[in-house]
Structures are given as C-alpha cells and as structure tokens.
Amino acid sequence: MTEQSFKIILKKYEEGTATQKEIERVESFFDEMQKGGKNPADFKYNLSLKNKIYKRIEKNKKPKIIWRWAIAASIVFLLGFNFYSVSNNKGILFFGNQNKTAQVLKVTHLNEQVKVYLPDGSLVVLNGDSSIEYPKNFNDTIRLVKLKGEAFFDVTKNPKKPFVIESGKITTKVLGTSFNIRETKNTTEVVVNTGLVNVTSKQESVFIKPNQKVIYKKKTNKLYKKEVNAEVTNLWRKEEVVLEKIKIEELVVELQKLYKIPFVFKTDNLKEEYFYSLKLSKNETLDNLLERINFINEVKLIKNNNMVEIVKK
C-alpha cells in the first residue's frame, strides 16, 4: 500500500466513511507499528489531517464510538501530535481518571540521588534538588509522571500503554526506552540512551534516537535537535564512565555541573576539539582529573581561582 493510498484511507477513517475492511487495515497498521517500535515519522502526514483527527476525538464522546476514540488517540500519539499539551487544563481528555488516583511525590535534597521504582516496574534515578510525581497505580490508557529537575528513566516496555513525562512546558513520550531529562530555569533537555523518544511542545514535535538530544528553550519556545554522546549524561549517576571521542564543549558542560565550577574557553575554536578516550570517576578530585587530561590531550585545562581555563597546548 502506497503512502498516498493510506492517507486516503486514513482520511476516510477520520471522517467515519471507511469500510469495515479499511477500518481493520488502519487499526492493524498502527497495532503493528506500536509492537515493532517503528518511527511514525516515516510517513509524512500533513498537520491539518492530524488536527482534524484531534477535533473529532474531542467532539465525539458518545459510548458507541469509544472503540474508535481509543484507536484515534493512538494515531495522534504515534503521529507525534501534541494531544496532551494542547491545553494543560484538558489533560483529562487523554489521561482519563489517572488524576483521580492517589498520587505519590518523591523529592530529593541538594546532592542527593534516589532510585524510584514506578508501579509498572520502570526505574527512575532522581538527581538532587528534583521531584517526581506519579500515581500509585497507572490507569489503562497511559503512564503519566511529572518531573521537576533532573532524572534518568529506564522505562518498562508496554506498547499498549505509552509512558509520558511532563517536564516544564514539554512532554516526552515513549513506549519503552532509557533517557535523561534535565529541566532548568531556562531550558529542558532530553537525551536518549536507547530506543525512540517523542518530545513535544505546543508548537513542535520531534523524534530522537540514541545519542541524540533535544533542547527546549523557554525564551524562544522552540525545540533544537543535535547529535551528542549520551554516555556523558550518565556521569552524575554512575561511579565511572568511559567516553570515546567526546567533544570538549560537550564534556565541560557536565564537568561544570559535577564540580560546581565554570570552565572557560580562551578561544572558541577549542570547543570543536575532541578527547578520543577518557575515563571519568565520579569521586575523583578536580586536580587529579585536570592532571590526567593535560597529560594525554592536545588542550590544557588550567585551574585559575574559581574557574578552569581551557587553552591550546
């Protein structure tokens, strides 16, 4: 079946004019897509069609079309449309009765790290000065949690029940994967370690794969996607990390967080230099780390008062 013919069938499905065979074909297609973890971005559906599907879901609430409402909700999710964040106050349209379930709130102090196991078996490693809120029991439609601060997620796979994280003004949606989310005053970052992740704001929706990152900037309300070394984001939660070919600019962002001291490039072109092999230990002193880096690399890191300067050797 070609993309064009499928779009025609999908439009008929949305309008309620599809035959029983066409209905079965649409539902079977999206069932298989969920089971296989395929990227719905492979099909370039137009935004107006997604909007029409959403409007139809919102309008039709009668019991006789519950089955069609459910599959349409799956379509909206898989196409990357921001169903939940259309209105923060209308999340109940999608999340059902989950908000009525007793909620659990976990909060960490500064420099504290806590492992949290969710009702579905998913693991969350919550960084310091952060919080996560989730229901005692997930409902039958979706697994929704709310994050403030930073956390690493290792999500139990469940193709029938998407996992959604609300963090600031974006939502992150997955079926089963591992990734890191960091929310700050001005930005929210999502870095993927394994699997496929959908990050959505009110204006945009993007999919990211392993070793890719999305940055949401509150000032511009835009999503920025880039290639990264996902392993470097594990530094805050692992005792030891071995990095291969890591860009210096990317590394020092994490080192600043770990050692609470700014790293300053004396010239911008040094940001594009790479460390081709580097082992980092969580409890290593800054002086020891700088000594090791300076011994084997083409740049030199100099501790100067309350900062580290990065210069060419």
Residue range 51-99, pLDDT digits in tens:
444 445 444 444 434 445 445 444 544 444 343 333 333 333 334 444 5
Q: Which pLDDT score is estimated for 28?
A: 67
The residue type of 117 is: Y
288 burial via Cβ count (<10 Å: 0-12, 13-18, 19+): exposed
Contact 77, 50 (CB under 8 A): no
> pLDDT (tens digit, 9 = 90+) per residue, 258-295?
888 999 999 888 988 888 778 888 789 999 999 988 88
Tokens of 251: 């590394």
For 171-187, how does the pLDDT look when each residue is reduced to its tens digit (9 = 90+)?
A: 999 988 999 999 998 99
175 against 115, higher pLDDT = 115
pLDDT band at 20 (very low <50, low <70, confident <90, very high): confident
Tally the residues of the chain. 313
Query: What is the DSSP-derived secondary structure letter of residue 91?
Result: T
| 218, amino acid identity | K
Q: Looking up tokens 């511009």, which residue turns up?
A: 220
* 196-208 residue pLDDT tens: 999 999 889 999 9
Gap between the Cα atoms of 2 and 6, Å rounded = 6
pLDDT given for residue 8 in this prediction: 76
In b/e form, how buried is each residue of 137-162, taking b as 16+ CB within 10 angstroms? ebbebbbbbebbbbbbbebbebeebb
Q: Higher confidence at residue 309 or residue 81?
A: 309
Closest among 117, 115, 170, 174 to 143, alpha carbons compared: 174
- Give how far the C-alpha of residue 71 lies from the chain's centroid of Cα atoms, to the nearest Å: 23
As a whole number, mean pLDDT of residues 129-143 equals 93
Using pLDDT thresholds of 50, 70 and 90, give the confidence band for residue 254: confident
Residue 47 pLDDT greater than 80, yes or no = no
- Does 235 score more than 60 pLDDT? yes
CB atoms within 10 A of CB 202: 14
Measured CA to CA in angstroms, residue 140 lies from 148, 163, 240, 289 at distances of: 25, 12, 39, 49
